[in-house]
């Protein structure tokens, strides 16, 4: 989670919300990193999770990220939750919940939907206070 937080801390420099993500393989090696870049890239899909998954797939040479763990500072939205399910990620570890857009229990629970063919293990709340504080500080600064 510390690596994901380090990615998140870089996002505000481009006007992006401070969310960071890393994908690690079964041995703990980092395969991909990402931070929000929607503003920087003018790309609505440039969420930290999607960018980390893309980098991990490129590094692994396959879109199937079986045995991998996605670590992200904020509960994934529906797009990102869908992407990690489709990538066959085995584990999701996230920090702060997202009551406005979270799709891993807050608004929806996409990753545990039994109708889907893959359901990753979920570990929520890792360094949640620290992860949430980054986002709160970012939006507080936007309002001043």
> Catalytic residues, which ones?
49
Residues 6+ apart with CB under 8 A from 34: 7, 20, 21, 22, 47, 48, 49, 50, 51, 52, 53, 54, 55
CA distance 20 to 113: 25
118 appears as a binding residue in the annotation = no
80 appears as a binding residue in the annotation = yes
131 appears as a binding residue in the annotation = no
Q: Which two tokens stand for residue 26?
A: 């079964």
Binding residues for Zn(2+): 47, 77, 80
List residues forming the annotated binding site: 47, 77, 80
């Amino acid at each position: 989670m510390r690596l994901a937080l380090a990615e998140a801390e870089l996002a505000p420099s481009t006007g992006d919300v401070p969310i960071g993500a890393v994908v690690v393989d079964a041995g703990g090696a980092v395969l991909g990193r990402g931070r929000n870049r929607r503003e920087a890239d003018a790309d609505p899909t440039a969420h930290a999770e999607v960018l980390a998954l893309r980098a991990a797939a490129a590094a692994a040479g396959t879109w199937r990220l079986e045995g991998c763990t996605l670590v992200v500072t904020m509960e994934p939205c529906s797009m990102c939750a869908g992407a990690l399910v489709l990538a066959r990620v085995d584990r999701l570890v996230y920090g702060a919940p997202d009551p406005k857009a979270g799709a891993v229990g807050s608004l929806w629970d996409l990753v545990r939907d039994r109708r889907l063919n893959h359901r990753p293990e979920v570990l929520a709340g890792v360094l949640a206070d620290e992860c949430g504080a980054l986002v709160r500080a970012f939006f507080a600064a936007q309002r001043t």
